Chain A
Amino acid sequence: SQTIHQWPATLVQPVGSPLSLECTVEGTSNPNLYWYRQAAGRGLQLLFYSVGIGQISSEVPQNLSASRPQDRQFILSSKKLLLSDSGFYLCAWSRTSFSEKLFFGSGTQLSVL
């Protein structure tokens, strides 16, 4: 069966520090991968998605970047965090065909202070 792992679960970082959140998927190959952010009191916003290794699409301009160095690994990064980067970050995957069910990780609560 497929599983998705996301870590860390919580993270407190000072403004201006770097960020690296990692997400891995097991039990499937060539998944579509996604990073969503959920700001406090707001809905889910799609940040990045990837349909293959090294292929990243950004949905909104921001201080963050994403990379996919391996088929089932998706990394969210920042060189210098901003206060506005605080939020709940969710990694998700789906099969490569048409719009379909997303399988979500358990999320990372990021607090930038």
Chain B
Amino acid sequence: AQSVTQPDIHITVSEGASLELRCNYSYGATPYLFWYVQSPGQGLQLLLKYFSGDTLVQGIKGFEAEFKRSQSSFNLRKPSVHWSDAAEYFCAVGASGNTGKLIFGQGTTLQVKP
């Protein structure tokens, strides 16, 4: 069965510092991978996705993620964090079949210190 693990429940970084949020997945075939961001009390917004091709994916708001098949990982990175990046981040993997179901990780809460 597909699963997603985000090992870090909470991360605090200083504004301007670099960021890496970890995501590991379990999936039998080539996965569809996503990163979503959720601001407090809001729905989720897609940051970026990986389907195939170049393993380094660029997203919105200056985020990028790298798919590493050998490590079953899809870590999210940003070179310089802004205070507005404080939010909850979810990694997700596309489930098998054509239903469009996504399996989400538990989420990582990002706090940004001034």
Contacts and interface: CB of A to CB of B under 8 A. Distances in A.
Contacts of B43: 6, 90, 92, 104-107
Interface of B: 6, 32, 34, 36, 41-46, 49, 90, 94-95, 98-107
Contacts of A46: 101-104
Contacts, number: 73
The SS class assigned to the B binding surface is: loop
B99 A32 contact: yes
A14 B63 CA distance: 42
A42 B102 contact: no
A100 B41 contact: no
Contact of B44 (A90, A96, A99): A90
Interface residues of A, number: 28
A29 B94 CA distance: 22
A112 interface: no
A102 B98 contact: no
A96 B6 CA distance: 28
B100 A107 contact: no
B99 A51 contact: yes
